[in-house]
Amino acid sequence: MSVDASKLAERAPVTPEQIERAARALSEGRAVVLPTDTVYGVFVRADRVGELHKLRPDGPVPGTWHAASADVVIERLNIRTPVHLHLLRTLTPGPVRFLVEPVARTMREVSAAHPLIPKLMERDDAEPIWSVRVPDHDACRRVLDRVDAPVVADRVAGLSGMGDGITLPSDAQRAAAGLGIAEVIDAGPTRYQTGSTTVRLTRDGWWKFEGAGAISEGQVRARVETSVLFVCTGNTCRSPMAEAVARHLLAKPGVTMKPTRVSSAGVSAFDGDPMTPEAGEALGGLGIKPGPSPHRATHLTRAMVEGADVIFAMTKGHAQRVLEVAPGAKDKIVLLDPSGRDIPDPIGGTLADYRNAAQAIAKFVEQRLSERGLILPPQRKGILETW
């Protein structure tokens, strides 16, 4: 969301004395008003959440935990899943609220190590869940970092005399005192001037986009997902086989390290052509289904090249054609075979040729995805032996 430059110029400097006063008030169990990158909030210690309920006696208070850093969230919630770690470290600090679904073991460990953390739990469809964010506002994080206990917040919008939550009125300190709020830090208009985007970290180690706020679903995915593109000639055998292998690997529980989008295209493809029957049979021999819907060939475009983070070409000729389509893509093009050799085209050959190609492609895809930290490294047995 764009913000008027003149409003940004109005941001007031926050002094060290203000930071210390606000942190001291929170540590003593009193409420304070702090700016975030999205909206202003009323902050209290987790064990003083009743203060928020006093301010809003007519309705429930979300009470989202606001942490000073991703490391604090990871340590206190005992987050271990690679995808969850990646999202937290990529999207924080920032305008994203995370709904964290805990497993029973994690809840027991967290409760034992940090007794106040269970007080942060909300109910989501009758299931316990943590709501947490790391605001991208220096003054806010500096205050939070000085408070030993976890701190929760509710937006100030709707509180008498406290404005719209994007800016504070000139008499905000007086209005806050009338509400029993100890300190107010006014840093000018908030950056995004709207609420947070919501992302769910699911119990099975994956994630879901829950709702747009300051940033869109597309912006979230662009930041957290790696886009992998496989390229061959007609997009009917080699590159769709590589795409299917990659999808198979990335779908394995506990193997995926980062959310990844996979696609394939051909430098001379006719849009809509099906995968060759032999390619499908060769994949079946490896225990892989081509996909949820029948494959249809796609001709390589400049937009596809520019939208990919890494492009795996089957041959040196394919890599050159990709460069002709998008000359600036040199740094993202890699031959699928790490040795630099071309992968022979099985088109028109025997089923044995397709099976040989599929086995080579499977080995190289696993190696390449592992090299880029997208899946766990192969263990003692390679991918072909484990299928």
Task: Compute how many other C-beta atoms are within 10 angstroms of the C-beta atom of residue 373.
Answer: 13
- d(CA 283, CA 281) in angstroms, rounded, equals 5
- 60 exposure class (CB count in 10 Å sphere: 0-12, 13-18, 19+): exposed
| Annotated catalytic residue, options 138, 273, 345, 353 | 345
Go through 226-253 and write b for each residue having 16 or more CB atoms within 10 A of its CB, e for each that does not: bbbbbbbbbbbbbbbbbbbbbbbbbeee
Which is the catalytic residue, given 45, 142, 200, 232?
232
- Residue 171 per-residue DSSP state: T
Q: Is 89 a catalytic residue?
A: no
Please say if 321 is a catalytic residue.
no
Distance from C-alpha of 217 to C-alpha of 370, rounded to nearest angstrom? 27
Inter-residue contact 186 to 35 (CB < 8 Å): yes
Separation of alpha carbons 290 and 31, rounded Å:
57
Does 372 qualify as catalytic in the annotation? no
Long-range contacts of 28-31 (CB under 8 A, 24+ apart): 30/181, 30/182, 30/183, 31/55, 31/180, 31/181, 31/182
Comparing CA positions, the residue from 171, 164, 123, 211 lying closest to residue 41 is 164
Contact by Cβ (8 Å): 266, 235: yes
**Kind and range of the H or E run holding 121:** strand 121-124
- Kindly name the residue from 238, 247, 355, 368 that is annotated as catalytic: 238
Enumerate the active-site residues: 232, 238, 345
